[in-house]
Structure 1
Amino acid sequence: MWVRRIALLVAVFVVAACAPVSTGFGPGASVHTIKVGGLARDYRLYIPEGLPKAAPLVVMLHGWTGSAEQAQRQYGWNERADSAKFVVAYPEGVGESWNGGGCCGQASSENVDDVGFITAAVGNITENVGIDKARIYAAGISNGGILAYKLACNTDLFAAIGPDAATQIEACPAPRPTSVLHIHGTDDNLVRYDGEPGTAVPVKTLAAPELNAFWRNVDQCQPPATTVDGELTTSVATCPSGRSVELITVAGGGHDWPSFATDKMWDFFAAHPAPPA
């Protein structure tokens, strides 16, 4: 076991030595460490060239057993940021997990303050980069999407959230009006579309349409309009102050990040900044 651990450490060191990442706030990729709740917490940041003086910020939350580096590499946000000129943050969970409440792994079992961490990370970014505070958004897959809902319930930082293959586990007694785009496959066995206990979330939760209705009520939306395009069924509700609550149901879809998700989420985010105070 120790030999294997040493080999892994050497491999990590070699990769790091071959591909150094900046710790500053200039264009390109960088890694930053802040202290929250007695823990040193990391987040990766990507800033494209040609950023406007007041740019949007997308916080992308990885899933359980994922990582900030994996999310940055896999979901295409850097490439979208290059074309649309926004900043992307990739926070790192504790033990490859987030404390979304009752799920999933180390962060939940140790009651890690991930709301405090994400809040502090956003604050650290806005102190050092020109960010439009009306255009701060949270996207997340699985356990990361669960945290996105928790952030919407417990902070007023985010104009919109984009949970994918996720649900809302904890009670949300005082939710903040927030635009929501939820994407979910009907055949997801880890976080089930119908809200029944699944492999990752072992408790009953609101089904995806019920959760969508919860946020329509929070945002005082009009009844939704539904369209069907092949395997995608999209429910769109318009709400006061320019907000929207939407659900994209993927027929037969599993527990994954669909190929269309990044573009759909960015288009949704761009169309739904926070209204003027």
Structure 2
Amino acid sequence: MKAIKINIINKKMVYISFIFVILLTSTVFSGCLKNIGLGGEDYRWDVNWITQQDSYGTGDYGRRIEVQNVSRFYKFHIPIGYNPEILTPVVLCFHGGGGYPGAVRYQTDFDILADNEGFIIVYPGGHHGLWNDRLLFWNDGRTPKNDPSFSDIDDVGFISLLIDDLGMYFNIDENRIFATGISNGAMMSYRLASELSNKIAAIAPVAGQRAIGEFGQVPPVPVPIIHFHGILDEWAPYYGGKQVSSFFLEDFRNSVLNTTISWVIHNKCPLYPYDTFRIGNATCTKYGPGLNNSEVVLWTLEDGGHTWPGGKITKSEGDYLGIGVGPINHDISSMELIWKFFESNPKQ
């Protein structure tokens, strides 16, 4: 490529390194960018954009709302059999860093589970950084490395407004609003548990620990948590420390045990688990009961990478230049276990 034939060797190396990081980030986390429009919207998932008050039934929809003078969006699936006369639970599912709603929808197949179990599944869209308007991220509480304005993004406020906005069009059960997500989206779930516990009943983070120093705002009530994490995860190391690569956000991670115990203590659960069992290469450790009968559950996947147990990965998430998201554990279905946990943990 002529573009990289620069005479000064340092400039050449900087340019090539920058291109490598951009390609790696977009390839590993977001999929084929040709399918994403400006602002990160995923055009592989056609939805009916709601722009006016009306009666809506089963189907795929989207809404745009303004937050901090910026247009944000979310997409969602209303399950088969939805009855506007009956309160319906809501699951918020957050994509990973550099991802988008359509990717996590594909990875989890939550739409199918929503149809079978009768809940609304919502896929919020993150915000983009100044350096790239296609890759979407969440302000999960970590320190940004290359974009100081990142810390000013009010994603907690966005989700709070999203819940209110969804309730204007559908009969949602405010006592059964839950959050799950992977990677950056998992960490966003932890932030919501800490800062939006008045609306979020329980969370299910996958492959993402709480941010260091997350309890700057201590949640006033206990929040039940079920966490899934693979020991082979290089992007969110199980034992903590520096992740394999990070261009955009602070890349030092809490250990999974540190994250788990911090919430065990907050929920006032006994420090020793009351139950531990194994299914294949998946080990479940349960702590509780705590305040308001709350519980903290950890699933450790010996053969799991930076993936949804029982889920899928997009084509571009496979091995790329020796770095990929790693293997998927198929001994359990995290999606089914997440919903079972949510069903048992409405807001107290």
Q: What TM-score bracket applies, with the shorter chain setting the length?
A: 0.7 to 0.9
Return the offset for 1:146: 0.5
189, 194, 203: which is aligned to 1:161?
203
AA aligned to 1:87 is I
1:92-129: CA deviation from partner (whole Å, max 9, x where unpaired): 01121111122678888522111111111011112221
Q: How far apart are 1:238 and its partner, in Å?
A: 2.2
Measured in 2, the distance between the counterparts of 1:243 and 1:120 equals 26
> Residue 137 of structure 1 aligns with which residue?
178
Q: TM-score of the superposition, structure 1-length normalised?
A: 0.88
What does residue 137 of structure 2 align with?
Answer: 97
| 1:208 and 2:239 correspond | no
1:258 equivalent to 2:315? Answer no
- Aligned partners of 1:63 and 1:211: how far apart in 2? 19
2:160 corresponds to: 119
Deviation, 1:204, is: 3.6
Q: Distance in 1 between matches of 2:50 and 2:145?
A: 29
Provide the rounded CA distance (Å) in 2 between the counterparts of 1:10 and 1:208: 34
TM-score, normalisation: structure 2: 0.71
- Preserved contact between residue 101 and residue 108 of structure 1 (Cα < 8 Å): no
For residue 278 of structure 2, give the secondary structure of its aligned residue in structure 1. strand
Give the Å deviation of 1:205: 3.6
Task: Give 1:171 shift.
Answer: 2.6
| Contact 1:189/1:254 (<8 A) preserved | yes
C-alpha separation in 2, matches of 1:126 and 1:136: 11
Match of 2:48 in 1: 21
The question of 1:110 aligning with 2:150 is answered: yes
Instruction: Name the counterpart of 1:60.
Output: 93
Deviation string, structure 1 residues 107-161 (Cα, Å, up to 9, x no partner): 8852211111111101111222111111100001000001000111111211100
CA contact (8 A) 2:144 2:150 kept: no
Q: Describe the shift of the 1:18–1:251 C-alpha distance in structure 2 as closer, same or farther (beyond 3 A).
A: closer
Distance across 1 between alignment mates of 2:226 and 2:280: 19
Query: Deviation of residue 70 (structure 1)?
Result: 1.7
Change (3 A) 1:159 1:60: same
Provide, for residues 226-253 of structure 1, a one-character-per-residue CA deviation record: whole Å limited to 9, x for no partner: 2222211111112232321100000131
- Does residue 1:231 correspond to 2:281, yes or no? yes
Q: Partners in 1 of 2:125 and 2:35 — Cα distance? A: 21
Q: Which amino acid aligns with 1:171?
A: E
Aligned position for 2:237: 192
Cα drift, residue 258 of structure 1: 1.3
Q: 1:255–1:11: structure 2 CA closer, same or farther, 3 Å change rule?
A: closer
Residue 34 (str. 1) matches residue 79 (str. 2)? no
How many percent identity over aligned positions?
Answer: 28
Q: Distance in 1 between matches of 2:148 and 2:155?
A: 9
AA at the equivalent of 1:100: D
Q: Secondary structure at the match of 2:116?
A: helix
Matching residue of 1:220 = 268
Q: Cα deviation per residue 1:183-218 (whole Å; 9 max; x = unaligned)? A: 000111111111111134654443111211111111
The Cα of 1:180 is off from its aligned counterpart by 0.3
Indicate how the Cα distance of structure 1 residues 215 and 17 shifts in structure 2: closer, same or farther if over 3 A, else same.
closer
One-letter amino acid matched to 2:122: A
Which residue type is aligned with residue 172 of structure 1? F
1:172 aligns with 2:215: yes
Of the three residues 113, 117, 122, the one matched with 1:80 is: 113
State the structure with more CA Rg: 2
Alpha carbons 1:146, 1:168 under 8 Å: kept: yes
The 8 Å contact of residues 22 and 31 in structure 1, kept in 2 or not, is answered as yes
Distance 1:97 1:148 in 2: 13
Count of residues in Structure 1 that have an aligned counterpart in Structure 2:
268
- Alpha-carbon offset, residue 79 of structure 1: 0.3
- Residue type matched to 1:162 in 2? A
- 2:34 and 2:187 map into 1 onto residues whose CA distance is 31
RMSD: 2.7
Measured after TM superposition, the shift of residue 181 of structure 1 is 0.5
Tell me, what secondary structure is at the counterpart of 2:292?
Answer: helix
Give distance in 2, aligned partners of 1:94 and 1:11: 13
